[in-house]
A and B are shown apart, each in its own frame.
Chain A
């Protein structure tokens, strides 16, 4: 399978614990995005990378959230001191910049986080 993969698919944690999610983009894609989706809503942009550089972060991304893409390949999203409001689906997407004129983003299956 050569699509975007995310791990784990589901995570249940207790409030106050730290969690880390991983995203593996399509191999030739140099841009990687994180979105958060709550029930009944569309995805909301969190942050994105071009190669290993984090180019933009949303105001939604509080200090408890940190994302990395150390070698420009996979990315991790860490949430520290989780709160119940962090419960959501975390979606990762990737895109190859420059191969096409439009911004088609390919999404992974998501990681569903439940904070108890």
Chain B
């Protein structure tokens, strides 16, 4: 079965610093989704990547999917306290299926 590994599991950064979270798959990704979760709450959709080499940005967050479609990165520029939370990558285990599998998450804390 496909597994998603995220790194780092936890990171603490100073406000204004840049950071990167990685998501690595054991198999080819047909769709890669990034979500953000505040503690004890639901998931907020950030971005979705499908094509090898694809890159998308929203405000100060940029997500990339490598050419082999087995690794994705999420980069935050000039982090702010509002970026704090758990970042989860999710993926379709097979082409054109609806259920998602998720990584274990990366917990981000931003201090002033």
**Chain A residues at the B interface, C-beta cutoff of 8 Å:** 4, 6, 31, 33, 40-45, 48, 55-56, 58, 89, 91, 93, 95, 97, 102-110, 112
Contact = CB atoms under 8 A, between A and B. Distances in A.
Contact of A41 (B45, B92, B100, B104): B104
Given A31-B98, A33-B98, A103-B92, A43 B43 contact: yes
Nearest to B96: A103
Nearest to A55: B98
A41 B86 CA distance: 10
Chain A interface secondary structure, helix, strand, loop or mixed? strand
B45 A106 contact: yes
Given A45-B100, A105-B33, 7 more contacts: A56-B99, A102-B31, A103-B33, A104-B45, A104-B48, A105-B98, A107-B35
B99 A42 contact: no
Contacts of A45: 99-101
A107 B40 CA distance: 13
Interface residues of B, number: 23
B99 A91 contact: no
A105 B100 contact: yes
B7 to A, nearest CB: 14
